A and B are shown apart, each in its own frame.
Chain A
Amino acid sequence: MKHLLTTQGLSKDDAILLLDTSAQMAATQSRENKKLPTLRGRTVVNLFYEDSTRTRISFETAAKRLSADVINFSAKGSSVSKGESLKDTALTLHAMGADAVVVRHSASGAAHQLAHAGWLDAGVLNAGDGMHQHPTQALLDAFTIRRHLVGNVGEDGRGTDTSAGADLAGVRVAIVGDVLHSRVARSNVYLLHTLGAEVTLVSPPTLVPVGVETWPCRVSYHLDETLEQWQPDAVMMLRVQRERMSGGAGGAFFPSPMEYSRKFGFDARRLAVLPDHAIVLHPGPMNRGLEISAAAADHPRSVIVEQVANGVAVRMAALYLLLAGTDERNAL
């Protein structure tokens, strides 16, 4: 694996290798000394064109726990109009000898271009590009789902994970909210499908992309019906961006926050409809009271905080598999 850019086209074997490696990484994180020497002497650059404190510190923590040298590069604005172009930044990072570049960018395809435009040799790890993909988010979601629904770690998530090598065959996941603008939804649809899960997207029709018919999932416009009749094992709530509500440029996707919340918000009442084993996920940051109520977010069946912890393990696994040599990988 030279790059991790998208979950579309990721093989099932690679996906399971990533999840199993994540489990091994997670196991090391309960030790007193959390640091592994694996990537000593390697340089990981966090290239963030969008503000994202949580994703950046997750990658930074992951790289540091693997003993890599970490450089944080925050760049504001887009190329051409403001500041240095993506190309020039890439050439600079190449000259500095970066071994891996973790990139977050508002432009869909920015990670793909960094990997393939010939600007640098480093492995590229996509930490979110526009509306396109955010593969480590999908991997940590799948990892969390697998631990709970296949690996029987228990409601508190502290039991022994017995899911090594397993896929998600037969697991039903409802992804609810703004699918149109969501790289999290796109990443999850393809990864969960590859792992054998069934996915239903639940969204008002205005927030489903034209062309969704080729995605390997179902689409529903009704949350209650999906919860009651389809009985998902996991419900993943997507963040609704407030600028989507206004009637301004490109806005007006739904009439009001109240109506959205009534029809698509996840709360204790809707939680009660689910099977007892079902879990609730959210990629964060949450809009409490809009797409998810406080009661649902803080419920014992919510795994939202655990997702954050799993994020570090998944990103350690991704960095390890991208950067460690073939010999080491075989030895895994």
Chain B
Amino acid sequence: MSTPSTTAYVLRGVRPYGTDPVDVVLADGVVAAIGAPGTVEVPGGATEIPASGQVLLPGLVDLHTHLREPGREDAETVFSGTRAAAAGGFTAVHAMANTTPTQDTAGVVEQVYRLGQEAGWVDVHPVGAVTVGLGGERLAELGAMADSAARVRVFSDDGKCVHDPVLMRRALEYVKAFDGIVAQHAQEPRLTEGAQMNEGIVSAQIGLTGWPAVAEESIIARDVLLAEHVGSRLHVCHLSTAGSVEIIRWAKGRGINVTAEVTPHHLVLTDELARDYDPVFKVNPPLRTAKDVEAVREGLADGTIDIVATDHAPHPVEDKDCEWASAAFGMTGLETALSVVQQTMVDTGRMTWADVARVLSENPARIGRIDGGQGRAIAVGEPANLTLVDPDATRAIDGRSQVTASDNTPFAGMELPGRVVATFLRGRATVLDGAVVESTGTGSVTLEGAAR
């Protein structure tokens, strides 16, 4: 196959994983060459990208994104959400199941998968619902979703907890047949009825119903024991408390096959932000205390927490421009995630860029079983799914100028370090010079298995 010159790039003086500068050539959708500056062979017509001082990472993978389509296209679509993902440096996202209709059948997950392919910004991997309609009563057709064109491996009722212990046990067991994983939204429902924010000093003063840490921790404790008992893989979504980190650490010490994620916002924001009742800070699980923030940072640095996932949760303006109690839970995150990780973990010296690649690309790809093409090492012959970051840049965050269709960023008005300069999806630039590259048409739409 001939190589059109427009799809070849040479990144000059770039630092893979933040290490020594090299030149990297991308051609034919793969990493074609890596060598000392000035030594690599460059295909004719390749686009030169001066990248001195910039960091090259494997394309970021988000295990936890809400794209809202089908059902809430007023908040986000697969197209707008994945375009935002590319802008944030992602090359793959897992689309959560709480759409309308719910992603609980092969038909719906294939629809989302196909919309992702048509959009072409990132690989979209639909998450399958664990229970029908997220109702928590009977298992959805997990096998059909696994066998569908979308090849679902991650199952979650995210937004709701699989609280019935028998149902959770069955789900953990059942997905073993196709190497799936249950990603649990750990929230004991009875302990969190009407809950609005972290239960503690701030909720007591400002009079909002508390969401106690124990409601998260008790479910995680139960689920790691269930996973141990039946020998299954368990993934814990967005853990947010110091106690949860301790339980995961204990479980891993016992050899339990559990992985855990933290969101960017739980790495930096606290419940003190609720004091002005601005619903942009209303999120589930809620923002916790400074002690919890420190614990999740420590857990991420020492490997107790495996990944950072955004829990990108777009909402239309009216769902946030109202009373706290009436407002929707959730905040956008795709375009700020890498900056927050840099600020909290890299610039503080707690993690290297190689660690960032681990928690934002390699581990999530492996957990989601998409590591055949995503989360790969930066090496010759590997798919050119790459993210180029300028760590020395700073940018002021403004919700209205984000690529996502929604404005609800908790970082509005803040200066965050780092800027995604370019994103490559199998060698094609989806972002260049910090701006998304509008696609000229749909990618190759394949629906192998759809007619089955």
What is A's interface to B at a CB cutoff of 8 Å? Answer: 8, 78-81, 85-87, 105-110, 112-113, 116-117, 129-133, 183, 186, 209-215, 249-250
Contacts and interface: CB of A to CB of B under 8 A. Distances in A.
Nearest to B212: A210
B322 A87 contact: yes
A130 B199 contact: no
Contact of A78 (B202, B203, B321, B323): B323
A106 B200 CA distance: 21
Main secondary structure of the interface of A (DSSP, over half): loop
A69 to B, nearest CB: 27
Contacts of B201: 211, 213-214
A112 to B, nearest CB: 5
Nearest to A190: B205
Given A85-B318, A250-B194, A109 B323 contact: yes
B438 interface: no
Contacts of A132: 206-208
Contacts of B277: 108-110, 112-113
Contacts of A80: 318-319, 322, 326
A206 to B, nearest CB: 13
Contacts of A210: 199-200, 203-204, 210, 212
A209 B204 contact: yes
A212 B206 CA distance: 11
B208 A109 contact: yes
A85 B322 contact: yes
Q: Indicate the member of A106, A108, A117 with the most B CB atoms within 10 Å.
A: A108
Interface in B307-347: 318-319, 321-326
Contacts of B202: 211
B290 to A, nearest CB: 14
A13 B132 CA distance: 60
B323 A107 contact: yes
B276 interface: yes
Nearest to B197: A108
A149 B141 CA distance: 71
Contact of A133 (B207, B321, B322, B324): B207
Given A86-B323, A210-B212, A183 B207 contact: yes
Nearest to A181: B207
B164 interface: no
Contact of A209 (B196, B210, B321, B322): B210
A107 B324 contact: yes
Contact of B204 (A113, A183, A211, A249): A211
28 contacts: A8-B205, A78-B325, A80-B318, A80-B319, A80-B322, A80-B326, A85-B322, A87-B322, A106-B325, A107-B325, A107-B326, A109-B206, A110-B323, A117-B321, A129-B207, A130-B208, A130-B325, A133-B207, A183-B207, A209-B203, A210-B212, A211-B199, A211-B204, A212-B204, A213-B201, A214-B204, A215-B204, A250-B194
Contacts of B326: 78-81, 107
Q: Would you list the 10 A-B pairs with minimal beta carbon distance, nearest first?
A: A109-B277, A211-B204, A132-B207, A131-B207, A107-B323, A209-B204, A108-B207, A211-B201, A107-B325, A79-B322
Nearest to A77: B326
A209 B200 CA distance: 8
B271 to A, nearest CB: 10
B193 interface: yes
Contacts of B206: 108-109, 132
B400 to A, nearest CB: 15
Interface in B121-155: none
Interface in B143-173: none
A186 B205 contact: yes
A116 B276 contact: yes
A131 B324 CA distance: 13
B208 to A, nearest CB: 5
Contacts of A186: 205, 207
A215 B319 CA distance: 32
Contacts of B321: 85, 87, 117
Contacts of A213: 201
A80 to B, nearest CB: 5
Given A107-B326, A131-B207, 6 more contacts: A113-B277, A130-B207, A186-B207, A209-B204, A211-B203, A250-B193
Contacts of A106: 325
A107 B318 CA distance: 16
A93 to B, nearest CB: 16
Nearest to A129: B207
A108 B324 contact: yes
Contacts of B193: 249-250
Interface string B194-234: 10100111111111111010000000000000000000000
B250 to A, nearest CB: 24
A221 B207 CA distance: 21
Contacts of B323: 78-79, 86, 105, 107, 109-110, 113
B137 to A, nearest CB: 19
Interface string B381-395: 000000000000000
Contacts of A113: 277, 323-324
Nearest to A130: B207
